[in-house]
Structure 1
């Protein structure tokens, strides 16, 4: 899938706000605040359930990686996610 299409589909779902469960939270982290080398996707099936986490690593910015963004869209489609949250910014890890 095209990078722009993937990013638009994810952004559209984020803008919808809480729509119920299941839900995912997308968070980016990296060695610098402007370079997201890792992405973590936390999946919660229902309220009070423990989150399942899937992670991806990249040598470039994961936010601009077509394969990673397409994989996120596939996860959303296949799991029937109703709500998506995006953690703001990039968490700096050392």
Structure 2
């Protein structure tokens, strides 16, 4: 990993470790076809308590793990800084399928491309059925 890539990773980790420092809050979540490799990173900015995330940006990586991709990490840090986020909340695991219900597959159905997540709790990874 290049020095520049490591700098961006460290910067993101440091902002996340600080805890709540006020609004706006950036939320960082990783998604993948299973719990081992992330193919999508989504970042949303919440302007105030109770608000929806807006804007939301997504980055995709099909060939490697998006969590360690230097270009994605740099883009995430720049997005967070561009929108003036004072706090960063990042999940420490992959929390579900990268495909979006109602967009990539029909509402209320299971993603046909990610059977790993069928019947699993997205936060614990444990089976719920």
Answer yes or no: same fold by TM over 0.5.
Answer: yes
- Separation in 2, partners of 1:51, 1:9: 22
TM-score, normalisation: structure 1 = 0.92
- Separation in 1, partners of 2:36, 2:4: 23
Q: CA deviation at 1:76?
A: 1.8
- Separation in 1, partners of 2:67, 2:4: 13
Q: Does 1:11 align with 2:13?
A: yes
Q: CA deviation at 1:62?
A: 0.5
Moved over 4 A (4+): none
- Separation in 1, partners of 2:45, 2:33: 24
- Contact in 1 for aligned 2:26/2:88 (Cα 8 Å): yes
Q: For residue 48 of structure 1, what is the aligned residue in structure 2?
A: 50
The higher radius of gyration belongs to 2
Q: Does 1:73 align with 2:77?
A: yes
- Separation in 1, partners of 2:78, 2:96: 27
Tell me, which stretches of 5 or more residues in structure 1 are unaligned?
none
- Separation in 2, partners of 1:92, 1:50: 20
Q: CA deviation at 1:50?
A: 1.6
* Alignment match of 1:61 (pick from 54, 65, 88): 65
- What secondary structure is seen at the aligned counterpart in 2 of 1:48? coil
Greater per-residue helix proportion: 1
**Count of aligned residue pairs for this structure pair:** 94
**RMSD value over aligned CA atoms?**
1.3
TM-score, normalisation: structure 2 = 0.68
- Separation in 2, partners of 1:16, 1:62: 23
